[in-house]
Structure 1
Amino acid sequence: MESTQPVILAGLVIGLIYGSVGLLSGFCLMSSMRDWLTKGDGRLVRSYALAIAVAIAASQFLAGNGTVDLGKSIYLQPTFSVPVLFLGGLLFGYGMVLSNGCGSRALVLLGRGNLRSFVVVIVLGIAAQMTLKGLIAPARIAMVQSSQTTVSANSLPSLLTTLGLTEVVARALAGATIVLALVLFALAHPPFRRSPGQIAAGIIVGLLVAGGWYVTGHLGADDFNPVPVTSLTFIAPIADSLQYAMLSTGLTLNFGIATVAGVFSGSLVTALATGRFHLEGYSSPRHMLRSGGGAALMGIGGVMAFGCSIGQGLTGLSTLALGSFIAVAGILLGTTAGLRGVLRVQPLAVA
């Protein structure tokens, strides 16, 4: 337990910062895409792009100098299922629109007094646990086993090494190319350049992802009691948090549970301090049904995709894993389908 205490405390601090920043900035992939696709406001989506760039740059720096072995994470495995990752991303993205936000956003809004988010968090956690270990787990495992592929290159740098580049050069080239493209995309937008709050949010969240890798991959590197190498992600941690709240005897705290608690607490403290706390509820039974249905899709899809809009969209992409790009493509497509076109989710009045 002594070796895991610094990891748990650091996870709590990372969550506190994320919760505060998330509340003040509105950091959220769904909100970013909604503002961009339906309102023409591209500031939030640029903040998200900047967060990805910072997360990749900082995480690849830690991996390149040997501080953290990202190869021990769930994202850089030699075997993965392309159809399941993509389908999971689709389900998560569409569910995110139905619920008006992802799991991390629900935690942030819950801290602000949004009782709709309480339903989202509970349903998401139950659906995720069912998909991880419960009734849906056998179907998920069967789908993965029937479609998984073993690859010799599971990341962009390892793919480039097949062309004859050294590992160092491949990592630097892949990381620098993507980071440069994302930074140019973000800063090419004049309204974003005039939004210091959004710029700061993107930088801070990206650094939090790298901080999570450092905490679990370096501080938690104990030969006798190793900590799983991970960073910010919310699907499995929300499920674990619900289980821990109900059955804490015999269970142990971990980085993910501490992060979930930190996000809620950080948002709550910030909301109270800034006068933003106020109770909100559903406008109708239909609204509740749609929100709960979206949460279920996020829980199921997030487990299938090995992460959410944060767990894959930031943390997964920071490893440059090929599987993460596939999952994120599904998330983006599912979100776009919910916001535009024939499958568009019609807006409901919110009380």
Structure 2
Amino acid sequence: METTAQLVVLAGLAIGLVYGAVGLLSGFCLMSSMRGVLAEGDGRLMRTYALAIAVAIAASQLLAGSGLVDVAKSIYLQSTFSVPVLFLGGLLFGYGMVLSNGCGSRALVLLGRGNLRSFVVVIVLAIAAQMTLKGLIAPARIAMVSSSQTTMSANSLPALVSALGLSDAVARTLAALVVAGLLAIFAFAHGGFRRSAGQIAAGVVVGLLVAGGWYVTGYLGADDFNPVPLTSLTFIAPIADALQYAMLSTGLTLNFGIATVAGVFAGSLVTALATGRFHLEGYSSPRHMLRSAGGAALMGIGGVMAFGCSIGQGLTGLSTLSLASLVAVAGILLGTTAGLRGALRVQPLAMA
């Protein structure tokens, strides 16, 4: 019989496989979504993202409300956190995402399709993230957090609502219904999105995958003797861990995050081969490579500072209705906007 840890790893691999396939077929990506709105006037992908958040919130809060998963144990609902570091990390990640033309999860999906530029992004992101987690940059990050962290009695939207005198269950239900409902209304208010069955399906599936990650690690992985850390879809630390595992597997343990990273790549690769989308691509110039690598480094550093990426905070963190996640996501959105419009806009590279 498989152990709990093995079951969690297999489930993480399955979640990654589905995400990789959906990500390739739908183009699911926050940066592409914002580029569509800000530069191209096409808001369908942004609606897909909004629907994914709505589904993730509804499903995750249902799990939490039923007692199956205690999301309060996640990193997103800590009572003490640094608002400046979270926001700055989000800014760095968002701008780096534009420089690299996609986030870490998107890079994994594109790598499965044969995009060799994404290989550089994944490697540099992993190194920068590991340096910020445990390496040369870690002391500076820790010092910044220590000097600016704040303790809050209410660390989530349900906690704020319950301060009005409502019970925890009612506050959780009300907050989830309002936020998820508004996001769903925003998504389906777009006529083009309503007519796009594929994008609707992508939003629903990705949102359910977030809840699935909570269920796998929070319920299936709830072993009294060897509990699995509570987590769901996120890609900065897992990509760093996956690279380290590839180099030092005999001294490390396979976990949910590493399995998810492998699954995303494999799911995209299989889907690309099956649909004839696989083809090798490279950089157009040394300048292109330098900019892409620089963006990946910013994503690795910023993602660690922000406790997550456009998926880790933008979907998984927000599914907990965490106030810290709102701060990080605000930084990511602002950083991405700065890269797409205004004085700091990342200029398109001339093709070689």
- What TM-score does the superposition give when structure 1 sets the normalisation length? 0.99
CA deviation map 1:3-39 (0-9, x unaligned)? 2011000000000000000000000000000011101
Q: What is the CA–CA distance in structure 1 between the aligned matches of 2:41 and 2:79, rounded to whole Å?
A: 40
For residue 301 of structure 1, what is the amino acid of its counterpart? G
Conserved in 2, the CA contact under 8 Å of 1:282 and 1:350? no
Give the equivalent residue in structure 2 for 1:206.
207
User: 1:216-255 residue pairs with structure 2 within 5 A?
Assistant: 216-255=217-256
Give the unaligned 5+ runs of structure 2: none
Name the CA distance, whole Å, in 2 between partners of 1:189 and 1:276.
28
> In the alignment, what sits opposite 1:190?
191
> Is residue 89–residue 330 contact of structure 1 (8 Å, CA) maintained in 2?
yes
> Which residue of 1 is the match for residue 349 of structure 2?
348
Instruction: Give 1:163 shift.
Output: 1.5
Give the counterpart letter for 1:346 in structure 2: Q
Secondary structure of residue in 1 paired with 2:150: strand
Distance in 2 separating the partners of 1:77 and 1:136: 23
Alpha-carbon separation, structure 1, partners of 2:4 and 2:70: 18
Number of the residue aligned with 2:139? 138
Aligned partner of 1:94 in structure 2 is 95
**Distance in 1 (alpha carbons) for counterparts of 2:335 and 2:78:** 25
Matched residue type, 1:262: G
1:122-133 alignment runs, 5 A limit: 122-133=123-134
Q: Which amino acid aligns with 2:197?
A: P
- Residue in 1 aligned with 2:336? 335
> What is the deviation of 1:348?
1.6
Instruction: Flag structure 1 segments of 5+ consecutive residues without an equivalent.
Output: none
Q: What is the CA distance between 1:161 and its match in structure 2?
A: 1.3
The answer as to whether partners of 1:83 and 1:147 remain within 8 angstroms in 2 is yes
The residue that corresponds to 2:56 in the other structure is 55
Give the corresponding residue for 1:16. Answer: 17
Q: When the two structures are aligned, how many residues end up with a matched partner? A: 351
Q: Which AA in structure 2 matches 1:69? A: D
Mapped partners of 1:26, 1:346: distance in 2 = 22
- Counterpart residue identity of residue 55, structure 2: V
**Is 2:265 aligned against 1:295?**
no
Deviations 1:172-218 (A, max 9, x none): 11110001100110000000001100000000000000000000000
CA distances 1:291-342 after superposition (whole Å, capped 9, x unpaired): 0000000000000000000000000000000000000000000000000000
Report matched runs for 1:97-108 at 5 Å: 97-108=98-109
Q: Structure 1 vs Structure 2: percent identity of aligned residues?
A: 83
Read off the aligned partner of 2:59 and give its amino acid letter: A
| Whole-angstrom distance in 2 between the partners of 1:170 and 1:347 | 46
* Separation in 2, partners of 1:69, 1:350: 50
Q: CA deviation at 1:350?
A: 5.5
CA RMSD between the two structures: 0.8
Give the partner amino acid of 1:118: F
Q: CA distance change for structure 1 residues 235 and 350 in 2, over 3 Å: closer, same or farther?
A: farther
Name the amino acid aligned to 2:300.
G
Which residue of structure 2 lines up, in the alignment, with residue 258 of structure 1?
259
